[in-house]
A and B are shown apart, each in its own frame.
Chain A
Amino acid sequence: MISQLFILSSKGDPLIYKDFRGDCGGSDVAEIFYRKVTELPGDQPPVVMVHHKGHHFVHIRHFGLYLVVTTSGGVSPFIVLELLSRLATLLSDYCGSLSEKTLSLNVALVYELLDEVLDYGYIQTTSTEMLRNFIQTEAVVSKPFNLFELSSVGLFGAETQQSKVAPSSAASRPVLTGRSDQSHKNEVFLDVVERLSVLIGSNGSLLKVDVQGEIRLKSFLPSCSEMRLGLTEEFCVGKSELRGYGPGVRVDEVSFHGSVRLDEFESHRILRLQPPQGELTIMRYQLSDDLPSPLPFRLFPSVQWDRGSGRLQVYLKLRCDLPPKSQALHVKLHLPLPRGVASLSQDLSSPEQKAELGEGVLRWDLPRVQGGSQLCGLFQMDVPGLPDPPSPAPPLGLGPASLSFELPRYTCSGLQVRFLRLTAPGTPGNTSPHTWVRHLSHSDTYVIRI
C-alpha cells in the first residue's frame, strides 16, 4: 500500500517524513519529489507522478503545504486522495489549524497520529473516537484562545452582540484537547455552506448555474450525545417531489454521511446523529439550472474602443439582486485586459472601493455591497498596437469578468436549519452545550463574458 508519507512546506522544506515499509529509497525522496513537481512541464498533471521502480508519488496541496505519499501503481487513487484529505482535517482538528507553524510546534503529536492511522502502510482508522483512546500527546497552540483580544468587544466597554455572535476564529482552536482539560466550553458549530458556480454569456443569457452545498459540523463535545437537526419542512429532493404549498426548497440530489439516521427525514425532515468530536460533513446536496432566487449579481458592461487612438473605455455597472436587507462582502471583480495595457484611469462611484491594475488584469474591490444597489465604475486605458480586425468586437484579451464574493446569512437554494438540539448525557455540573449555526454562500466561479 503506502510506502512513505511526507509533508513539505510550499518551499520544499520537509516538515514530516515517515517511512512505513522501507522499500522505496530513503529520506531524500522528499527532495526528489519537490524537484519533480516544480519542474513539471505545464501540461502534465502533478497529482500523480512517477517515482522509480514501480512507485508513484500521489499528493494533495492543502493551503500551500504538500501532503505526499509514495505508493505502488495498483492502489486506488480515490482511497489515497481521501486519506490525505482526511489526514489534513484530522491534523487541523488536533492542532487548531494546519500550517507550517502549527506542524513545527506539534511534531511529536503528528508522528503519534501517523503511527496510529497507518500501520505498515495500511490504513487502520481515521475516526476521532478511536484515535482519542490512543493519542497521549497534547497539542501546542501558537496563541491561547482569548476572547478579549478580538475586535468584537465594543468601544468604551459597551455591550455588544457578543453573546449572540461568535467571532469567526472561535472554531479554529484545537478540537481534541487532552482528557484532563475540561475547562473549555462545550460548543458545536454548524455551517450550511453553498458554493455557487455561474456562467453568463456575452448576451446576458444564463449558460450554467450550479450550487454545491454542504452542511458541516464541528463538534467540541467530548461525549456522544444525540443531535437532532431540523431542515426546512418544504425541502424537496428531485424534480417530482412536492411538499407544502409554496414553491418549496428544491435540490437535485442529496447524500448523507454514513452515520446519519434518516428515520425521521421522510416525514419531518429531521436528521439524527451522534456527532464525533471534530469535523464532519453531514449532508451534501447539489442543485443546477433552477435557482429559486435571482442570481446575486448582474454585470452590464459597455465597451468603447477607439481604434485610431487605441483608447479603450470600459464602463461596468454591477447590480446586486439580493434582497435589500442582505449584503455581499469582499466582492472582487477580476477582468483580464488586452496585452500591453500599461496604465489605467478610473472613476468609481464610492470611496471605499478600490481598483488597480496588476499583471494585465483589472482588480476592482468592493468591500460591501448592499442588496438592491447598483455600483458603477468607469475605466479608461490605452491599448497599444493591436492588430486591426474588421469586426466590431471588443478587443482580444478583454476577457471574461469573474466575481468572487461571500454572502453571509444567505443560501442560494433557500435551505435553512430550523433547529439544532442536543441531548447531552447528564454530566453533573455541565452546562448545556452552545450551538452556533451559520448559513453562508460564496462564489466558486462566477464568470460573466463580455
Chain B
Amino acid sequence: MPYLGSEDIVKELKKALCNPHIQADRPRYRNVIQKVIRMPDLDQWGQAEVLGFLLRYQPRSEEELFAILNLLDSSLQSSSPAVVMAATKLFLILAKEFPHVQTDVLVRVKGPLLAACSSESRELCFAALCHVRRILRSLPGHFSSHYKKFFCSYSEPHYIKLQKVEVLCELVNDENVQQVLEELRDYCTDVSADLAQAAIFAIGGIARTYTDQCVQILTELLVLRQEHITSAVVQTFRNLVWLCPQCTEAICQALPGCEESIQDSEGKQALIWLLGVHGETIPNAPYVLEDFVENVKAETFPGVKMELLTALLRLFLSRPAECQDMLGRLLYYCIEEEKDMAIRDRGLFYYRLLLTGIDEVKQILCSPKSDPSLGLLEDQAERPVNSWASEFNTLVPMYSKACWAAISSLQVSEPRGPEPSGTGVLSPSGSLISENKAELQPLSDSGSFLLVPNGQLTAEQFEKTWLSLEVAHQEVLPWQGVAHPDTIQTALQMVNIQTIALSKAGVQPWKAYLSAQDGSGCVFLTELLLDPEHLQVRLSVKQSHVKAEALNSFISVLKTVIGTIVDIKS
C-alpha cells in the first residue's frame, strides 16, 4: 500500500473503497471521501496516488462534483508534474458531462505542461509532448500562441525533435503560420535526413490548409537537388495533389528535373504515379518514364515496377504516339522476363485489357484524379475530450496510435501496418478504417468475452454446420441505405468476425453469412438478411454449444458493429 502520510488516511481510504457497508451508505461514503481529500500532509507521491484512487468515485450530484473540484483545485498548481497531471485527469473524467469545465481545466494546465515541455529532463519533456498532442486533437488552437516553445533545439535527441515537429504541424493557425513554416523550412535542410523528411511531411500536412505558401516552399526545396529532400517532397506532392487539386498546376511545373535526384523506392513510386496521372500537362513525362523503362531490368524494387506499369498505361491513354513503343517493350519485359509473379500478372492483365479495346482501358484506369472530400473527412478529427480522457496520464499517449493498436490487440496474428511516422495523410481508404478502429477497439478489449480469429472455417464447413444447428436467436435491427461490402467486411474483421459470404451491394435479396469463435471454442454462425422496404435487417444466430451468456455477448458485439456501420454511412 502506498504510504499516504499517516495510517489514518490509509484506514479512511481503505474504508471508503473496500468496505461495502460504507459504500452502501452514501452519506457516510461521501464524508469519508471528503476527509481523504482534505489530506493535509501528503507528499507528492501520496497526492498523486489519492488522485488516482478518486477516479473510481462517482459523485452523486452536481453540487458534490463541484465541491470536490473546488477542494482539489490547489493540486492543479502543484510544483510536481505528477500531481498536476493526476489532478487534470481526475478533473477531466469527473467533469465528463461539462465540456466547458474540461476546457477550463485544460487552459489552466497549459502553464505546467509547457514548463514540462522545456524541462531539463528529456524523458519528462517527451511525456509532456505526447500529452500535448493528445490535447491538440481536441483543441487545436490551444497552444497556438506558444508555438515558439516547440521549436527544436540542436542538442535534443531525435525522438523529441520528431514529436515537436508533429506538434508544430498541428498547432498552426493564421497568425503563426508564417513563422512556423519558416522554422520548418529550416529543418528541411537539417543534417539529419529523418528530421528533414519529417519536416517536409509536416509542411505537407499544413499545406492542406495553406496550400500556396507550402507549395512554394516545397518547390524551392527541389532546387537543392538533395536526394532525401527531393524524394520526400515528391511524396508530399503526390499526397497533396490528391487532396488539393488546385495546386496541381504548380506542382506539375515543378516536377521536371526531379528524376535525376531520386534513388529510393518511395520517391520513385510517387514520381511515377504523378507522371502517369498528370502526364498530359508535363511536357517531358514520356521521356522520364522512358528512362525508367530502359532501366527496368536493373530495378530492384517491385513496387516501382508495378507503379510504372500502371502509370505508363495511363499516359498511353492521353499521349499514345509517344508511349506506344515503350509500353510495348515494358509489357514484353514484364510478361516474358520478369520473375516476380505479381508484376507479371499485372502486365498480363493490362495486355489482355488492351486487346479488348481502348474504351475498356479508359473505364478501368481513368480514376478520379483527386478527392478533396477525403480531406474534409480527415479534418473532422477534432475528437471530444472524453474519447481520450481515460487514457490521459497513462502510458498510452507515449506510443504512436499504430503501436498502441498493435500492442492492445488481443492476438498478435497480423500486424496492422503502422503508419510511417511523420506523414500527415493517410491513404484514401485508411481514414475510414481508422475511424472504425478507434471506435471498435475498446469493444473487443472489454469484458471477458473474447472473439478469436479463426481462419479455418471454409464455405462447405459453414454450410454443413449451419444446416445442422438450430436457430438460437433472431432479431431485427434498423438499417439504412445500400450495404457496401468492403466497409462491412473490414468492420467485422476488426472484432474478429469472419465473413464467409457477402452479397454485392444493391443485389436483391441482400444476404451475409458470418462466423466467429470465442475463446472457449464455441462457434457462432450468423445470417443477415436485408429487408429494404422496411429499412431493417434480420439477424439469425446459431451457436455450436449452448451458452446463453456467450450468446448475449456475441449479439451485443455484433449489434454494436452494425450500429457503427450504419452511423458511418448515414
Contacts and interface: CB of A to CB of B under 8 A. Distances in A.
B53 interface: no
Given A74-B395, A82-B44, A447-B153, A124 B82 contact: no
B386 interface: no
Given A45-B159, A48-B399, A79-B48, A396 B189 contact: yes
Interface stretch (A252-260, A302-310, A317-325, A368-376): A252-260
B52 interface: yes
B191 A397 contact: yes
A317 to B, nearest CB: 21
A85 interface: yes
B301 interface: no
B225 interface: yes
A125 B121 contact: no
Given A76-B394, A288-B148, A444 B153 contact: yes
Nearest to B1: A122
A125 B45 contact: yes
Interface stretch (A138-146, A386-394, A408-416, A427-435): A386-394
A71 B394 CA distance: 11
B287 interface: no
B475 interface: no
A138 B28 CA distance: 48
Contacts of A387: 225
A78 B118 contact: no
A79 B394 contact: no
B115 interface: yes
A406 B505 CA distance: 71
B348 interface: no
A142 B126 CA distance: 35
Interface residues of A, number: 65
Contacts of A399: 190-191
Nearest to A201: B182
Contacts, number: 163
A208 interface: yes
A80 to B, nearest CB: 9
Interface residues of B, number: 62
B394 A75 contact: yes
Interface string B27-52: 00000000000000001110011001
Nearest to A40: B159
Choose among A77, A126, A289 the residue with the greatest number of B CB atoms under 10 Å from its CB. A77
Interface in B74-91: 77-82, 85-86
Contacts of A400: 154, 186
Nearest to A85: B121
B127 A284 contact: no
Given A76-B394, A78-B127, A396 B224 contact: yes
Contacts of B223: 389-391
Contacts of B224: 389, 396
A197 interface: yes
Interface in B145-200: 148-149, 151, 153-156, 158-160, 162-163, 179, 183, 186, 189-191, 194, 198
Contacts of B162: 43, 45
B126 A45 contact: yes
A66 B126 CA distance: 17
B361 interface: no
A15 interface: no
A257 to B, nearest CB: 6
Nearest to A288: B148
A76 B78 contact: no
A286 B85 contact: no
B396 interface: yes
A162 interface: no
B517 interface: no
B2 interface: yes
B123 A47 contact: yes
B365 interface: no
B29 to A, nearest CB: 24
A125 B118 contact: no
Given A46-B159, A73-B407, 6 more contacts: A76-B85, A78-B82, A123-B3, A210-B149, A336-B191, A402-B155
29 contacts: A43-B162, A43-B194, A45-B160, A48-B398, A50-B403, A76-B82, A76-B86, A76-B393, A76-B394, A77-B394, A77-B395, A78-B124, A78-B393, A79-B82, A81-B121, A84-B123, A119-B1, A122-B1, A123-B2, A123-B3, A124-B2, A124-B45, A125-B43, A207-B183, A208-B148, A253-B111, A258-B44, A258-B78, A258-B79
Interface of A: 42-48, 50, 56, 58-61, 71, 73-79, 81-85, 119, 122-127, 195, 197, 199, 207-208, 210, 212, 253, 255-258, 284, 286, 288-289, 334, 336, 360, 387, 389-391, 396-397, 399-400, 402, 444-445, 447, 449
